[in-house]
C-alpha cells in the first residue's frame, strides 16, 4: 500500500485525538534508562478492541489474559508496558497480569 492511495492518515493529538479518550504514561522503573514504560489509555464510553496475537507456542501472561478478555465485550482501559518481555513467568506472571488489569480498571 502506497502513501498516495492510503486511507490511513496521521492526526495531531496522538491517541487522544479521538473524542472521549485520555492517556497517560509514566516511568515505572521497568526500563533501566528511566524512560516512560507504562501507559494507560482510557475510553470514557465502552469501546471495541481488536488485536493480532503471536502464533508462537510460548506466549507471555499478558497475551494469555488479553486473548481471554478481548472477546468478552467492550473495554474501557488498555494498560501497556514496555521494556520487558513478561514471558515464561508461569503462574506468578499470570497473577501479575490479572492484578495489573484489576488496578487499571
15: domain CATH number?
Answer: 3.60.70.12
Number of domain units in the chain: 1
3 assigned to some structural domain: no
What per-residue confidence (pLDDT) applies to 1? 45
What per-residue confidence (pLDDT) applies to 4? 59
The pLDDT tens digits along the chain (105 residues) read 455 556 777 778 888 888 999 999 999 998 999 999 999 999 999 999 889 999 999 999 999 999 999 888 899 999 998 888 778 999 999 999 999 999 998
- Strands of 7-68 (E only): list them: 21-26, 38-47
Nine cell digits for residue 88: 515464561
pTM: 0.77
2 assigned to some structural domain: no
80 beta partners? 39
Amino acid at each position: 500500500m502506497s502513501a498516495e492511495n492510503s486511507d490511513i492518515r496521521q492526526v495531531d493529538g496522538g491517541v487522544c485525538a479521538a473524542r472521549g479518550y485520555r492517556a497517560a504514561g509514566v516511568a515505572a522503573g521497568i526500563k533501566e534508562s528511566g524512560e516512560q514504560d507504562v501507559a494507560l489509555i482510557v475510553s470514557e464510553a465502552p469501546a471495541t478492541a481488536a488485536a493480532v496475537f503471536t502464533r508462537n507456542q510460548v506466549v507471555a501472561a499478558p497475551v494469555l489474559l488479553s486473548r481471554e478478555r478481548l472477546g468478552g465485550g467492550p473495554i474501557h482501559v488498555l494498560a501497556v508496558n514496555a521494556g520487558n518481555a513478561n514471558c515464561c513467568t508461569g503462574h506468578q506472571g499470570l497473577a501479575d497480569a490479572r492484578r495489573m488489569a484489576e488496578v487499571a480498571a
